[in-house]
Amino acid sequence: MIRVALVEPEIPPNTGNVARLCAAATVPLHIVGVTGFRLDDRAVRRAGLDYWPEVVLQKHPNLTHLYESLPEARFLYLTTKADKNYAEWEFDPNDCLVFGRETHGLPEQVLHSNWERCLTIPIKNPRVRSLNLATAVGIVLYEALQQTGAFGP
């Protein structure tokens, strides 16, 4: 099953949008590291996130814990720095799509150690440096789901 992992997300509405997307697609969401906001039941209720019970959420203190919890997964790292286009990648049902923080992306060490599995979303306008996190997750997640037959024939 395809999964989404957000590493140290900073902006609550982005995480909320990604969570809704994951709930709608029945895709587990993994939050790695410290968030810039609370995700406890009280905070979620106060924010009016009525879909939150549909989110299959797992939290991990760090990437090592994420890797250990998904030993069968192939981890793919989304970054503006990569040269491989996500649309030209052959996704697998065991892929975990890993996205970094809104302000800094994924750590350089993670990218360099996994460069052969780093993907990007092409941006035509050179004056636009990146896409919104939730938009990027939606683009790549639905391509992966389509390729792996999650929507049926």
Q: Return the structure tokens found at 66.
A: 């994420």
* CA 67, 68, 70, 71 torsion-angle sign: positive
Q: Check whether 41 has a pLDDT greater than 80.
A: no
Closest to 133 in 3D by CA, of 21, 2, 3: 21
pLDDT at 34: 84
Percentage with pLDDT > 90 across the chain: 74
Q: What is the pTM of this model?
A: 0.93
**Which tens digits make up the pLDDT trace of 97-143?**
999 999 999 999 999 999 999 999 999 999 999 999 999 999 999 99
Q: How far is CA 61 from CA 8, 38, 58, 64, 139, in A?
A: 10, 15, 10, 8, 26
**Which tens digits make up the pLDDT trace of 5-33?**
999 998 888 888 899 899 999 999 999 99
SS3 52: helix
- From the centroid of its chain, how far is CA 84? 17
Tokens 């992306």, residue? 105
Asked whether 128 and 121 are in contact (CB, 8 A), the reply is no
SS3 57: strand
pLDDT at 12: 83
Cα–Cα dist 74/95, whole Å: 5
Q: Return the structure tokens found at 37.
A: 């906001």
pLDDT at 151: 83
Q: Which domains does the chain have, with CATH numbers?
A: 3-147 (3.40.1280.10)
